[in-house]
Amino acid sequence: KPLDLIQFCHELVAQVQKSSAENVINFVSQCNSLSANVDQELLERILKNLLDNAIKYSSTGSAVNLQLAYKDEKVIFQIIDRGIGILAADRQRLFEPFYRGNNIKNISGTGLGLSIVKVLVDLHGGQIAIESEVGVGTTVTVMLPS
Ligand code: ATP
Ligand code: MG
């Protein structure tokens, strides 16, 4: 049965907020109600990985936003941070397993999150795009068929 995406995102953000005292995580929806035939477990793994990155690569205290929208029969999730950003030279390789950016300093990770996210988005028949500016922040957009 279709998944209530507004309720799902509310609960997910509340859950992620519990484990992140430093960042405030906001959920913003452009729709009053939105349901879609997406697999709850896959979607949870996609969004948790992306929220984890947004939090991890953000300076202490900056806000992280999860935005939900609907356009052309597609569900659009955007994860927006005001973190360290991604170097242009790294952008082509972020979906490769174990690849990590060159500006991460002492932030720990294995470089697997985005490669998993890419596989899961592909399984959904969706698309993912990353826009970023170093020192300004990063926006990850995931589009899934509804
Ligand atoms: P893991 O997710 O396995 O713990 P990771 O976060 O390093 O480790 P990915 O999630 O695959 O691995 O991300 C790959 C790289 O992309 C990161 O090492 C980082 O350089 C860059 N990156 C991903 N998301 C962001 C973001 N929101 N802001 C800045 N850099 C990011
Ligand atoms: Mg990660």
ipTM of the complex: 0.99
Q: What is the pLDDT of residues 10-52, one digit of tens each?
A: 999 999 999 998 899 999 999 999 999 999 999 999 999 999 9
Q: Is the pLDDT of residue 59 over 80?
A: no
Ligand of minimum distance to the alpha carbon of 89: 1
Q: Which atom of ligand 1 has the smallest separation from the CA of 102?
A: 20
pLDDT band at 60 (very low <50, low <70, confident <90, very high): confident
Q: What is the pLDDT of residues 65-104, one digit of tens each?
A: 999 999 999 999 999 999 999 999 999 999 999 999 999 9
List CB contacts of 61: < 8 A, sequence separation 6 or more. Answer: 22, 23
In degrees to the nearest 10, what's the CA dihedral of 38, 40, 46, 51? 120
- For atom 21 of ligand 1, which residue has the closest CA? 101
